[in-house]
Structure formats: structure tokens, C-alpha cells
A and B are shown apart, each in its own frame.
Chain A
């Protein structure tokens, strides 16, 4: 049961910029850092952004993350065909003795 809300889908043409929102609450995003995951078809999730806006080594700078209050967003600039897949946000939640929560997921389609 996801407690972080994302739009079900978004799309863009190659080269465009798309953004994905992630809405939470004070017990998760409002008080903890946010990670973003990319899941390409048939593969395991891969960390795209950690600690709100940090990119792991090897992740292109086309991907950027931000957080404000109880919401976060992921931006993909210069959209490429290989970016097509599912994207999830995630954050620790301090309620119920603490647990990790994921977003509902957003399907990115490159037109």
C-alpha cells in the first residue's frame, strides 16, 4: 500500500523535459530524504537519485531531483528512448515504528 502519490503516466518526445511529482506527508517526505528509482522493463529497480538530489556515479546529469516540504519531483531533461520505463519515489516513514514507503509509480513513455 503506497502512501506516496505519483501521476500514473507521463510522456514526451525525444529531447523534451518531463517532470514527475511525488506527494507525501510530514511523516515521510516532510522529515526524511527522498530517493528515486528507475525500473526498465524486466529489470530490477536502479537508484537514480538519492538523498533528494544526489546522483550515483554513472547516472547522467539529465536526471535531477528536488524536494520541497512534503513533495518531491524528478526531472528528466533531454528525454531519450532508453528512458522509457517506470519511475518510483521512496522515503522512510516515521509512523508505525518506522518503515519505508514507495510511490505509486509513474510510467514514462517516449513518443
Chain B
């Protein structure tokens, strides 16, 4: 049974960066991409981008171009999402999910809180 386990919650100041990890268990990490999605308090789901765990190529939503980086460490089957220049609008729960089409496994979510 595949599983994605995310790192713990983060509290950041405006202007800082945050790096969230997503460790994969129970499947061949390089065989599937990882997508990142976020959900602001009381809001819907927002696609941030996805990357191929095999090639490392990443595709970002236009809203995040320039301040979002998705990477992976194949030796530990871990995906990373780094968001820079944080503002209060980035306060949200961040989820990783397996695959480009978000058709199966999701992580438990990581709360990122940004304050001024």
C-alpha cells in the first residue's frame, strides 16, 4: 500500500522561505510524479505544480512562477516543495499527491502559517 508522509507544520515570517518534504513509501518512487496542492483556510484546492520523479522536470502554476521550486531525492524517495518570499496569503495547508493526475494517494498535509 503506497503512502506519502509529509513533514510537520511550519511557522514563518513574511519574506521567509519554507521547505516541505513528502516521503514516499510502498511503491517505486521514480515511477510516478508528485503534485503539490494547497488549501488556504476555508478555501478550495489550488494546484501548485507537479514534477516527474524520474527526470526531475518540474511544471509550475503561473501564480507561483519564480518563487516555487520542486525537487526530489531519489535515494530517500522524498519530494520537496520550497516556496520563497512568503506573505500572509501563503498561509495554507500544503499537500503532496502521487502522479500528475492526482488519481490516488495524497499526503496528510502540512500546515504553513505566515505572520508579519
Residues of A within 8 A of B104 (CB): 47, 50, 56
A1 to B64, CA, bound (A): 13
The answer, among A1, A45, A50, A98, for a CB contact under 8 Å with B106, is A45
B70 CB to closest chain A CB (Å) equals: 14
- Chain B CB within 10 Å, residue with most, of A51, A56, A99: A99
Judging by beta carbons under 8 Å apart, are B45 and A99 in contact?
Answer: no
Chain B residues within 8 Å of chain A by Cβ, number: 22
Q: A35-B103, A50-B103, A51-B103 are in contact. Are A99 and B108 (CB under 8 A)?
A: no
Judging by beta carbons under 8 Å apart, are B108 and A88 in contact?
Answer: no
Q: A2 on the interface (CB 8 Å rule)?
A: yes
Residues of A within 8 A of B106 (CB): 44-47
A46 to B63, CA, bound (A): 25
The answer, among A47, A50, A99, for a CB contact under 8 Å with B47, is A99
Q: B107 on the interface (CB 8 Å rule)?
A: yes
Judging by beta carbons under 8 Å apart, are A97 and B59 in contact?
Answer: yes
Stretch at the interface among A10-18, A60-68, A74-82, A101-109: A101-109
A101 to B100, CA, bound (A): 12
Judging by beta carbons under 8 Å apart, are A96 and B62 in contact?
Answer: yes
A36 to B49, CA, bound (A): 19
Judging by beta carbons under 8 Å apart, are A88 and B44 in contact?
Answer: yes
B contact set with A: CB distance below 8 Å: 35, 37, 44-47, 49-50, 59, 61-63, 95, 100-104, 106-109
A contact set with B: CB distance below 8 Å: 1-2, 33, 35, 37, 44-47, 50-51, 56, 88, 90, 92, 96-105
The 3 closest A-B pairs by CB, nearest first: A50-B103, A100-B47, A102-B45
